[in-house]
Amino acid sequence: MEKKKMPPQFWEDQEWALDHYERWMREYPYHWIAVVNKEVIAAEKDPEKARKIAQGKTGKKHIPVVYIEGHIHVY
């Protein structure tokens, strides 16, 4: 079965989401955010729902979805 190679934009958007993590902690605590072209397209409690909403809005297939903590936890 073929593994999916992520396109360059996917990695850029994923990195951008992490670069602004503190902001998302304030705006979307304990949510999954879906990012396309350096913009948060969806924030949901369910990562698949966030991805599907973002896919529907942008038409993109590969979309990074990142979990945002509300506090800095020790696991």
Partner 1 sequence: MSTRISLFFKEFENPNLAEKGVVFPAIRLFGRVQFKTRDGWTDAYVAILDTGAPTWVLPFKIWSECEVELLADYTLRGIVPKEECSLPILVGKITCILADKERESDEFDVITYLAMTNDVPLLIGFQGLLERATLRMDYQSKEAFLEMDYQSKEAFLEIE
Is 33 within 8 Å of 65 (Cβ atoms)?
A: yes
41 binding partner 1? (CB under 8 A)? no
Q: Which is nearer to partner 1, 21 or 37 (CB)?
A: 21
The DSSP code for 21 is H
Nearest to 6 by CA among 17, 46, 58, 14: 14
Binding mask 7-36 for partner 1 (x = CB under 8 A): -x-xx--x---x--xx--xx---x-x----
Terminal-residue alpha carbon distance, the chain: 34
Q: Output 39 or 68, the one with its CB closest to partner 1.
A: 68
Asked whether position 59 contacts partner 1 by CB under 8 A, the answer is no
